[in-house]
Amino acid sequence: MLSSPRLLRHHLPPLQCCFTTAPTQPPSSQILTIKKALLSGETTSVDLTSAFLRRLRRTEPHLKSFLYTPSDQTILQQAQELDNRIQNNEPLGPLAGVVVAVKDNICTCDMPSTAGSRLLENYRPPFDATAVRKLKEKGAIIVGKTNMDEFGMGSTTEGSAFQVTANPWDLSRVPGGSSGGSAAAVSARQCVVSLGSDTGGSVRQPASFCGVVGLKPTYGRVSRYGLVAYASSLDVIGCFGSSVADTGILFHAISGHDKFDATSSKRDVPDPTSQFIANDYLVSKPLKGLRVGVIRETLQDGVDPAVVSSVNSATSHLEDLGCVISEVSLPSFALGLPAYYILASSESSSNLSRYDGVRYGKQLFADELNSLYRNFRANGFGSEVKRRILMGTYALSAGYYDAYYKRAQQVRTIVQKSFRDALDRNDILISPAAPSVAYEIGEKKDDPLAMYAGDIMTVNVNLAGLPALVLPCGFANGGSSGLPVGCQMIGGAFDEEKLLKIGHIFEQTLEGYNFVPPLVADEVGC
């Protein structure tokens, strides 16, 4: 493997694409540009999909973003069917011709769904997750299943049972986790957008590490039907894109009530793109009067100074856009991390009890049932999954339930109230998405407590069930061209439309940054 993206890019000949932008221009919507190009006859879905496949095949040996991709012929057949529809003047869905990657814990009936675990190595679900079904109905082309930490338990994607994914900005660093494969695939332009899942930050932290946009919706906004369960009261399917517009379009496509998920909300889902205003039409203070609270506890000791500097610059930019900035203190913020790990581990110990060697995975033979369970789980689960199952089982045991699980639920209530009070006084809250930039591969693998501490910026949002948007806001030293830093914007329940509108304006007016990694910068004309 080559040691740096600066070296790797010389092995990638230029690839002509119709939706590229110059370095200092705001990112445009690839989805809208693709649809316009298809309808005008400027290009075909087969040609566009072929371009993405060529880039994917060239970069994948170095990045390892995907655990499974169908044959090129299978993927191009989907594109040809779309071209036939266009020729017949049939209506197109909002995601027509859009190449989408799906995290491997989201079920797909025609592809494996392993959740990054040897236990499910050969598992092919007999159904699509609701989010995947909606993608297909709206014309998306599913290009493959992305790598992840086993069952979503990890923050680096090193916990995958199959391979380690590299960060497109620096191949010696992790892409984050557990949705690292999905974030890396979008960052490297192996696909247009992708689906991930977020239990304690698994969309937002990789988005920050890989310099892409990540959205964690409100709990219940997107159906969890077909999502392999980790912690059911925290799990959410989220979205990645290279722009806020693309992320918002993907979010709208998969949202809404689902009869197969009792926790999905029946609220209407407004189209966020109706709130997007082109840069040329923005007034001088487009966010005038918007109240923004900066969470004090997220910019104190333990946070990389370069991260603090980038978030402070983002805050200044929001102020220039007309926002009213104030500092907000959430005294319960530090309590969220231990409470999260108790609750998530407890729920995982229950959810993963279904993997018993009888109904799922490769079957073993044993003289009695306990031996079957013991051998199957000992050989199938990775070390991090075993650790969390043991922690959860301990917290739920009769002698410790009140001391740990019950108290963690009480902390969860306190966290929810503190966010509610802060959002009563502010329209959004902001913080870093992670306390540092991407780690070196192997740096945190043998220190689980240090890895858990990296989730401190994100877990409280899951405990409160709120939406949060992460978008790149600057760089810190590292790699051959710097490493991206993400700013997290937190909104009230079901306020995704507001978050996306603010993020879209922020993104369009942020000058001087190019968030295309060197790995693909030459290819896309930046």
Catalytic residue IDs: 103, 178, 202
By three-state DSSP, how is residue 388 classified?
Answer: helix
Spatial separation of the C-alpha atoms in residues 114 and 160, rounded to whole Å: 10
Spatial separation of the C-alpha atoms in residues 144 and 163, rounded to whole Å: 16
Task: With CA atoms as reference, report the closest residue to 264 among 253, 254, 274, 250.
Answer: 254
Sign of CA dihedral 451, 454, 460, 465: negative
CB atoms within 10 A of CB 205: 33
- Tokens at residue 104, please? 């491997």
Q: In what order do the strands lie in the sheet with 213-216?
A: 66-68, 141-146, 99-103, 193-198, 236-241, 213-216, 468-476, 483-490, 428-432, 291-295, 324-328
CB-based contact 435:505 (threshold 8 Å): no
Residue 211 neighbours by CB under 8 Å, 6+ apart? 169, 187, 472, 484, 486, 515, 517
State the burial class of residue 10 (Cβ atoms within 10 Å of its Cβ: 0-12, 13-18, 19+): exposed
- Tokens at residue 327, please? 């500092």
What are the two backbone dihedrals, phi and then psi, of residue 480, each rounded to the nearest 5 degrees? Answer: -90, -15
Q: Where are the alpha helices (DSSP H) in 129-179?
A: 130-137
How remote is the C-alpha of 198 from its chain's centroid? 7
Residues in the chain, total: 526
Exposure class string for 490-521: b at 16+ Cβ within 10 A, else e: bbbbbbbbbbbbbbbbbbbbbeebbbbbbbbb
CB atoms within 10 A of CB 341: 20
Residue 426 neighbours by CB under 8 Å, 6+ apart? 291, 292, 293, 326, 328
User: Quick check: bond before 178 cis, omega within 30?
Assistant: yes
By three-state DSSP, how is residue 390 classified?
Answer: helix
